[in-house]
Structure 1
Amino acid sequence: MPLFMDMHTIAGGVTIDDLAQAHAADLKVQGAHDVRYLRYWVNEEGGRVFCLVEAPSAEAANAVHRESHGLVADALFEVQEGL
């Protein structure tokens, strides 16, 4: 399954607690899209969020965010994991 990294910019910043809630919402709907959100990172002050996801396509990954909380990524890249 392809691996993707997405990036979000949240104006005004974002807290790790807010991000945890958004991630929980993603987990509730991801199965319907054959997607698996794996990890996320946040820069609270800068409002930057990064999500690592296994998905059949970029569109499927975006569909989960759109359906669960509406915060679709600003950018989404297919990536390969290195050591």
Structure 2
Amino acid sequence: MPLYMDIHTIADGVKIDDVAQAHKADLQKQGEHDVNYLRYWVNEAEGKVFCLVEAPSAEAAATVHREAHGLVADEIFPVQEGS
């Protein structure tokens, strides 16, 4: 399954607790689209959120975010995992 990293920019900053709630919503919705949200990272001060996801396509990953909470990523990149 392809691996993607998406990047969200929240103009007014973001709280990790809010991201945790959005991630829970993703987990509830992801099975409908054969997507697996694996991890996320947050920079509260800069308003940045990074999500690592296995998905059949970038569009499938974006669809989960859109349907789960409406916070679609600004960019989605295919990535390969290293050590």
TM-score category of the 2 structures, normalised to the smaller one? over 0.9
Q: Does the residue aligned with 1:37 lie in a helix, a strand or coil?
A: strand
Alpha-carbon offset, residue 51 of structure 1: 0.1
Q: Does the residue aligned with 2:28 lie in a helix, a strand or coil?
A: helix
State the aligned residue count.
83
Match of 2:65?
A: 65
CA distance in 1, matches of 2:50, 2:60: 17
Q: Unpaired runs of 5+ in structure 2?
A: none
What does 1:6-21 align with in structure 2 at a 5 Å threshold?
A: 6-21=6-21
Q: So what's the TM-score if we normalise by structure 1?
A: 0.99
Q: So what's the TM-score if we normalise by structure 2?
A: 0.99
Residue identity over aligned pairs, in percent, reads 76
What is the aligned-residue RMSD (CA, Å)? 0.4
CA distance in 2, matches of 1:34, 1:13: 30
Segments of 4+ moved more than 2 angstroms: none
Q: Does 1:40 align with 2:35?
A: no
Alpha-carbon offset, residue 11 of structure 1: 1.2
